[in-house]
Chain A
Amino acid sequence: MSFWRTALARPETSVVIGTILVVLFFTISTGGAWLSTLPSVFRVTAQVGLIAIGQAFLMSSGEIDLSVGSTFAVAGLVAIWAMDILTLGVAPAFLVALAASSLIGLVMGVFTVYFKVPSMIVTLGALFVLRGIAYISTQGFSLSIPREFRKDPLVLLAKAKTFDLNNTFIVLLVATVILAIVLSRTRFGSHVLAVGGDASAALANGISPAATKIKAFMVCSAFAGLSGILVLFQEGSVYSTSGIKLELEAIAAAVIGGCTLRGGSGSIWGPVLGVFVLSSLKGGLMMLGAPTSWYIGLVGALLIGFLIVSQVISASTQPTA
């Protein structure tokens, strides 16, 4: 009994059920053919998943970042700029781009915390500003990795597969484990949850909500940047439109995976399953012969459906709130 109570009280319960249903549905309805598309589903899951886990971490602190799609593009552009103009190697360029992404998070965090502008507004502004930078630097088209770096081992590594899995997907799995441990088992994670749960209580107990939230912003932006850099290595180019709407998919996946806009609780691996469910839909619908234009509407319907299910579940397991 107590096992079921605990299992039902977890924020990830509905997404686990959803994942099982999606896998069963597509496998049965396509006579098993859908399973062969899994590698490409995983590839997309890696890209959006890295963004979603950062977003989930930030949402646990009670804030949100709408700019991740733009940060995704800018990180790739910074990497190209570091290789092309600064003539750095691929590895240093990777680090420079990652640092630049964290810096974006730092700035947004400072604006949110010290000027008391809601993060939704600050990061919405950042979404436009950073996208503007992407348009200007690509002149509306695209930029590519300089020729001499295209065969760099690091770039090839990002493109390669291990045991038929994209290496980026393995990066996602490792990152998920690490971030999940950070959120649930470390002091920093505990502070993030405390600040998200009740910032004034955290402050009264000597935790700085400002510093904690700024760090969470940096984690979120760094993961969006990491995704952007890895995708650049895979595809070789960044377009002026790279990453558009990724923020919405990442937030939808985070919410489906058990995160709330209120903060104070959250999951890291739940959102990864959320991304998997959303990514599966795209390919699965196509195989069933449904027009892909159905996808976006279905995402919205799923999002609302999942929220209702998890509300019902949590209402049934928590007698007092």
Chain B
Amino acid sequence: MKPVVELKRISKNFGAFSALRGIDFDVYPGEIHALLGDNGAGKSTLIKILAGVHRQTEGQILVRGKPMKFRSPRDAADVGIGTVYQDLALAPLMTVARNFFMGRELIKGPELLGMLDDRRMARVALEEMAKIGIELSDAKQPVGTLSGGQRQSLAIARAIYFGANVLILDEPTSALGQKQQLEVLKSILRVRARGDIAIIFITHNEIHAQLTADRYTFLSLGEVIGSGSKVDLNPGEIRRLMAGGAEVADLDAELSAIVAQHSVQDAKSQAHKRTSEATNG
């Protein structure tokens, strides 16, 4: 099987600052490839190049083996790369169905009049969301009444329905409560189970990556510092790479040093408080 998307030696400079340096990355249909790294590692720049928002300074993007030049997000969407950004691109006051079909409304009757086929849009929206495990009874409820997880799933279902076979999920579980995160992870796994969609899962939550991903790529300061499949990497290694390659033991030591210092200070100030209270009283 060939990767549906392949990035070769991608570099990106913003003026003198190089955000990405020679990144290799690929993803196959039916797999979840987690892209991990701390803030500023270059994850967003990389997906923006894939989504056609930025252009790479060097390197090549291959889609199904063919080299591509994305001039706009439209170009990327046309070859089936769908991006679900953190803000989800939903209008909270509008209904679920209207949001699902925002900008691609279904029309009945003469095209010129543009009369919306609300019934068909409602049916399709509910069906598509049910496919990834979100059962809603009413497509007419405003998106504002949905939970964060349901909104995320709505955006994912929408991207798939409109032809995404490469799904880029930008931190889909951040800013959600524990239960909602689980709901979104389940949706992602249901998309994976279809087998025809390649998922790029951007996150800085290693637990979420371990729960879902087949492969991992770790970025730090614009470079790939590690990659591998579920079998290749043990949890300790994943945590080390998540921290940008620093030894977790070192971090532990640093942290406990701070904690120790703090408790000494605490003890001192407590003692000080007691003495001043005593003198005042």
Contact = CB atoms under 8 A, between A and B. Distances in A.
A237 to B, nearest CB: 38
Contacts of A204: 85, 89
B145 A318 contact: yes
Interface stretch (A77-85, A149-157, A180-188, A278-286): A180-188
Given A186-B115, A198-B91, A321-B92, A205 B144 contact: no
The SS class assigned to the B binding surface is loop
A264 B91 CA distance: 8
B118 A187 contact: no
Given A187-B116, A318-B144, A193 B103 contact: no
A288 B39 CA distance: 69
A198 B88 CA distance: 11
B192 interface: no
Contacts of B87: 200-201
B96 to A, nearest CB: 13
Contact of B114 (A186, A193, A201, A318): A186
B90 A201 contact: yes
User: Which of A205, A264, A319, A320 lies at the interface centre, i.e. has the most chain B CB atoms within 10 A of its CB?
Assistant: A205
A321 B118 CA distance: 23
Contact of B113 (A186, A197, A207): A186
A194 B92 contact: no
B5 to A, nearest CB: 21
Contact of B144 (A193, A194, A207, A320): A320
Contacts of B92: 197-198, 264, 321
A265 interface: yes
A208 to B, nearest CB: 9
Given A193-B94, A198-B90, A205 B104 contact: yes
B144 A190 contact: no
Contacts of B107: 187
Interface string A194-215: 1001101110111100000000
Interface string B159-191: 000000000000000000000000000000000
Given A318-B144, A320-B144, A321-B144, A187 B105 contact: yes
A320 to B, nearest CB: 6
Given A202-B103, A207-B102, A318-B144, A190 B89 contact: no
Interface size class of B (residues with CB under 8 A): 20 to 34
Given A194-B98, A194-B102, A202 B85 contact: no
Given A202-B103, A264-B91, 6 more contacts: A186-B115, A187-B105, A190-B98, A193-B93, A200-B89, A207-B103
Contact of A188 (B98, B104, B114): B114
16 contacts: A186-B114, A186-B115, A187-B114, A190-B105, A191-B103, A193-B93, A194-B102, A200-B87, A201-B87, A201-B89, A201-B91, A201-B102, A202-B102, A204-B89, A318-B145, A319-B145
The bracket for how many chain A residues form the interface is 20 to 34
Nearest to A195: B91
B118 A185 contact: yes
Closest 8 CB pairs of A and B: A197-B91, A205-B103, A204-B89, A187-B114, A206-B103, A201-B89, A205-B102, A264-B93
Contacts of B116: 185-187, 190
Interface in A221-280: 264-265
Interface in B75-91: 85, 87-91
Contacts of B105: 187, 190
- The interface centre, meaning the residue of B91, B107, B118 with most chain A CB atoms within 10 A of its CB, is B91
Contacts of A202: 91, 102-103
Nearest to B113: A186
Contacts of A185: 115-116, 118
A268 to B, nearest CB: 16
A186 B104 CA distance: 12
Contacts of B98: 190, 193-194
Interface in A104-152: none
Interface string B92-135: 11100010001111010000011110100000000000000000
Contacts of A318: 144-145
A264 B99 CA distance: 12
Contacts of B74: 206
Contacts of A207: 102-103
A185 B116 CA distance: 6
A115 B145 CA distance: 35
Nearest to A208: B103
Contacts of A197: 91-94
Contact of A320 (B85, B89, B114, B145): B145
A7 B81 CA distance: 42
Contact of A194 (B88, B91, B115, B145): B91
Contacts of A205: 89, 102-104
Contacts of B93: 193, 197, 264-265
B89 to A, nearest CB: 4
